[in-house]
Amino acid sequence: MLARRVLAVVGVAALVAAIAAPASRAQLPTYRLGRTPTAEEIKAWDVTIPPDGKGLPPGSGTATQGESIYAARCASCHGERGQSPKYDPAATKRTILVGGRGTLNTDKPVLTVGSFWPYATTLWGYINRAQPVDEPGSLTPDQVYAVTAYLLHLNGIIGEHDVMDARTLPAVKMPNREGFVPDPRPDVRKSQAPRAR
């Protein structure tokens, strides 16, 4: 009986070793490609802005200031007023930034900044790291605040001359903020943004 148990333990150990060996070997080779990123590069990539606005940089902007920046850098993809470009009659939901209020409980919801996004800080963070699509991350903090203000204004959320900055942006109450619920999974941090209902 003892011999069977010893054989079983040895067999399991051999199986684990056989499975683990190729996995560990697969991580060993180096191909001398790429390089370790610098501290400055890592800092530039660390651009997540939570709902409370922690990490927003100094700067400010209004919708009035953002209109010309939007026209020059955003309108070619998103249309003159965020309702999709004229040349794209079958615009996808991703290119439409304005409108859609009251459509979320319909068969054809239109997910826009004004109808879906729960936090204005999410909009700022996305524009900052991913827009414009041909040169992501090229806008200054002031330009990002201004374009964010312009889109919030087009969606009827803030006034044309309201100043958006690190203090005022987190305070913006988005129309669908209450349409989200906290993620109940125990492995999700409480500070993480909620998910849609």
Asked whether residue 100 is assigned to any structural domain, the reply reads yes
Q: Looking at the domain assignment, is residue 35 inside a domain?
A: no
* 78 assigned to some structural domain: yes
Buried b (16+ CB within 10 A) or exposed e, 76-106: ebbbebbbbeeeeeebeeeebbbbbeeebee
The CATH number given to whatever domain includes residue 98 is 1.10.760.10
**143 contacts: CB under 8 Å, gap ≥ 6:** 61, 66, 69
Residues 44 and 60: their CA atoms lie apart, in Å, by 19
pLDDT in tens, the chain (197 residues): 555 665 566 666 666 666 666 655 556 677 778 888 888 888 777 778 999 999 999 999 999 999 999 999 999 888 888 887 655 555 555 688 998 887 888 888 888 999 989 999 999 999 999 999 899 989 999 999 999 999 999 999 999 999 999 999 999 999 988 887 777 888 876 555 555 55
Q: How far is CA 165 from the centre of its chain?
A: 18
* Contact of 49 with 120, CB cutoff 8 Å: no
CA–CA dist 97, 93 (Å, integer):
8
pTM above 0.75, yes or no: no
Cβ neighbour number for residue 182 with a 10 Å cutoff: 11
- Whether 65 is in a domain gets the answer yes
Q: Does some domain include residue 4? A: no
Q: Is residue 107 part of a domain?
A: yes
- The angle, 0 to 180 degrees and rounded to 10, between the axes of the packed helices 141-154 and 120-130 is 130
Give me the domain span that covers residue 126: 49-196
pLDDT of residue 121: 97
| Count of domains observed in the chain | 1
Residue 43 lies in a domain: no
